Structure 1
């Protein structure tokens, strides 16, 4: 994927969303004249908990704010390509006004995207850039995600005086973001650390990550792994379980992504070093605004401030937001400050001593 004409900033996105919101307020009467429609929301996975716990409710709420007469028709593919293809074609048949697609497999969904385009239904790629004639794209800068993970891992290893090799636990190769994350990470890691083993974790499943990590421990030895670059928190959980099962103490630094609650708790307890927080509210608001605008036949000029290319389409209007690295020392000023979690949600009775030590309960 190639990025061009970049002038994306959170402030600019916020301004664009406000403009769309104001425009929608002025068109409420028009909605009763046929400007209300259904938006299809196709999510890829239940393994990655953020989709159902965060993304879905925020998208649905924002669509209602921007278009009170609109409805959201939601489906989750459960990591099954065939299921997502059926779900998408069902929505096309029902004649939705716009589709938000977070593709299980970007290449496999190309024909479905083409079918929607042929039916006059705009498709907005969400979080992962699908192939085909995509009309808009809302996500985070995947290269920056990888760079944040790699820099944090190197910092943690240096702090421990540990310059040994690492294990890379990459994403599912069917996801276009997996290569984006890895490319960003490698731009930092190159020539700075030895990569002992590298795995693509199929479907981002924790049991697959567990098996991969077990294989790495067997191949490299339990005391020759200085860190683990895990692509997200689900993969991190499997890797950490394998390290603990091998009785490796202390657990070497492990990265993550998505700021899942259990990952934040692992960071507090010391089992996971960091995660990447992607302010999902801004991403959800951006894609909701795109869907409402395109469903009404409007331009994305006020929402998308850069363009991207997929393998079939150039200059796709895009909103690429900025991710944030989170370690134990920055949980309060990021996740708690933004209202993602409360101290009470993070600091269970079992974690209270660790929270006290981290300064979260003071």
Structure 2
């Protein structure tokens, strides 16, 4: 039986250069993630990367650090892993602009940088692996637009737009995609917010103010990820809004999947992070072997591979999440959500 990681990788066609790891044996590779506001890094990205590295280069040493949203801490962690002999650093930056300086430091010491999830626009890295962030923004917003139209919401109705962190270049790409879909639609953006550090409480606080300001004129909310979506939904519930307007998301966290099943969140994006983590591991091993990984595309003058994710709603959650083994009944269908799972045809 194939492992879950192998099945997902086959599904998405993750076909980077395969390496045997002979020269890489004993090499140190660092995996530096940006924050703990999203649970994905601890639950999916690092475990996926670590698993792939063990398969590709069993003797390689992997160092994992999480900056917890602190750019200065990430700088310290970066310096530390370089001092520990890391030859490749997989970097998901807290601040994409500040990360340009880290790339310069690395290259001055013959250390390779793989930009992960969030690009580094100002200074080309050695490779970039991610999902297509602009495509994600466009997809979640277009899904909402189509839903509003199908539901008979009048042209000219308003939506709120909750973007990600202003220091995250990936958030900027998601925002650009959202803008493209909303600008081409018949609906208008009532107000827009860049969420510092992607923090759900900050998204909730802002959304609460907009609910007071616009009330029933809010016909939908485009939130850039599941954390900000959860903040918006909490604000709506606290204000006694019923029924809730549709709210988008991104990342397919367990909490978001539960909200979708319960009817509180409209959509999310299925992004099994293990796919990108495995791709990063393949690139890392290739780089320590002195090889040049195959570029599928280029972004910000950096060779890249961008994976195309799927939009998930209540209608296709069984097929996209459970049938593909991305999450299981036992992980999602707990307590009060068991009945919603059963209603959606999801069972043990």
Matched, 1:205 2:195: no
Matched, 1:158 2:158: no
3-state SS, counterpart of residue 16 of structure 1: coil
Q: Which runs of 4+ in 1 moved over 4 A?
A: 9-13
Assess if the C-alpha contact under 8 Å between 2:204 and 2:235 holds in 1.
yes
Matched, 1:85 2:75: yes
Partner of 2:243: 250
Give the Å deviation of 1:181.
0.7
3-state SS, counterpart of residue 84 of structure 1: helix
Give the Å deviation of 1:10.
7.4
Residues 34-183 of structure 1: pairs in structure 2 closer than 5 A:
35-130=25-120, 131-163=122-154, 164-183=157-176
Assess if the C-alpha contact under 8 Å between 1:227 and 1:253 holds in 2.
yes
Give the Å deviation of 1:186.
1.6
Partner of 2:15: 15
For residues 345 and 10 of structure 1, what CA distance do their matches in structure 2 show?
Answer: 23
Assess if the C-alpha contact under 8 Å between 1:98 and 1:295 holds in 2.
yes
Unmatched 5+ stretches in structure 1: 1-8
Give the Å deviation of 1:111.
1.3
Assess if the C-alpha contact under 8 Å between 1:64 and 1:71 holds in 2.
no
CA RMSD in angstroms, aligned pairs only: 1.7
For residues 265 and 41 of structure 1, what CA distance do their matches in structure 2 show?
Answer: 30
* CA spacing shift, 1:16–1:104, aligned 2, 3 Å: same
Give the Å deviation of 1:77.
0.2
Assess if the C-alpha contact under 8 Å between 2:119 and 2:128 holds in 1.
yes
For residues 81 and 108 of structure 1, what CA distance do their matches in structure 2 show?
Answer: 8
Give the Å deviation of 1:353.
2.3
Residues 180-199 of structure 1: pairs in structure 2 closer than 5 A:
180-190=173-183, 191-199=185-193
For residues 295 and 263 of structure 1, what CA distance do their matches in structure 2 show?
Answer: 38
Assess if the C-alpha contact under 8 Å between 1:64 and 1:70 holds in 2.
yes
Say which of 259, 284, 287 aligns to 1:291: 284
Partner of 1:328: 314
Partner of 1:218: 212
Assess if the C-alpha contact under 8 Å between 2:200 and 2:228 holds in 1.
yes
Matched, 1:349 2:338: no
How many residue pairs align between the two structures?
336
For residues 40 and 353 of structure 1, what CA distance do their matches in structure 2 show?
Answer: 43
Assess if the C-alpha contact under 8 Å between 2:12 and 2:275 holds in 1.
no
Partner of 2:324: 338
Assess if the C-alpha contact under 8 Å between 1:117 and 1:133 holds in 2.
no
Assess if the C-alpha contact under 8 Å between 1:114 and 1:133 holds in 2.
no
Q: Deviations over 1:173-231 (max 9, x none)?
A: 1000111111111211114211101111111111100111011112212x110000000
Normalising to structure 2: TM-score of the pair?
A: 0.92
Assess if the C-alpha contact under 8 Å between 2:318 and 2:344 holds in 1.
no
3-state SS, counterpart of residue 148 of structure 2: helix
Give the Å deviation of 1:319.
0.7
